[in-house]
Amino acid sequence: MKRWKLWLPLALLAVLALVLARGLQLNPREIPSPLIGKPAPAFVKPLLDGGSFDSRSLQGRIVLLNVFASWCGPCREEHPLVTQLAKRHPQVAFVGLNYKDEPTAATRWLRELGNPYTAVVVDADGRVGIDYGVYGVPETFVIGADGRVAFKHVGPLTPEVIAQRIEPLLK
């Protein structure tokens, strides 16, 4: 009985070490999304430049949905990459989802940095973000021509993520 009490803390420490070691192998940017492989949530929202946008109008096209905000530092960092990507793939609908932002600030930001988007949708209340499971900005989704979510990236895009994960889906 006494030996069992001596080995129990060591066994618990070994289990804890295994769990922590597994956690260190995970990529925090790859948060699994329950939407992968499922139809993208449809929405109708106002456009930044006036009018309204119905996401169903893009059925049959590949869509890159980029969630951004003018107050987001990492969004500013990734913006040149999004712009370059949009230039390389004019057949893809690049939709900017302006998340919980002031429209005037977003307009000024896009005027300053350039607007790579086919449409800029205003999500002032964050409802579309909730439907897509957005944790924060920036986040990027690729939606296939079949209307299903093919990919989700949390955080700013990098050249590696674009080359290895996104560009193959845009072709």
Query: Could you read off the pLDDT of 36-95 as tens digits, one per residue?
Result: 999 999 999 999 999 999 999 999 999 999 999 999 999 999 999 999 999 999 999 999
* Contact in structure between 63 and 142 (CB atoms under 8 Å): yes
Residue written as token pair 């929202």:
45
User: Which DSSP symbol is given to 137?
Assistant: S
Per-residue tokens: 96:
């900017």
The pLDDT of residue 95: 98
The pLDDT of residue 80: 98
Spatial distance between the Cα atoms of 153 and 162, rounded to a whole number of angstroms: 10
The pLDDT of residue 139: 97
The rounded mean pLDDT for the chain is 92
Spatial distance between the Cα atoms of 95 and 91, rounded to a whole number of angstroms: 13
Residue 32 pLDDT level (bands cut at 50, 70, 90): low
Spatial distance between the Cα atoms of 116 and 83, rounded to a whole number of angstroms: 5
Cα separation of the two ends of the chain: 65
Peptide bond preceding 138 in cis form (omega within 30 of 0): yes
CA 150 vs CA 32, 36, 64, 157, 170: distances in Å: 12, 6, 10, 16, 10
Residue 170 pLDDT level (bands cut at 50, 70, 90): very high
Local structure of 64: helix, strand or coil: strand
**pTM for this predicted structure:** 0.83
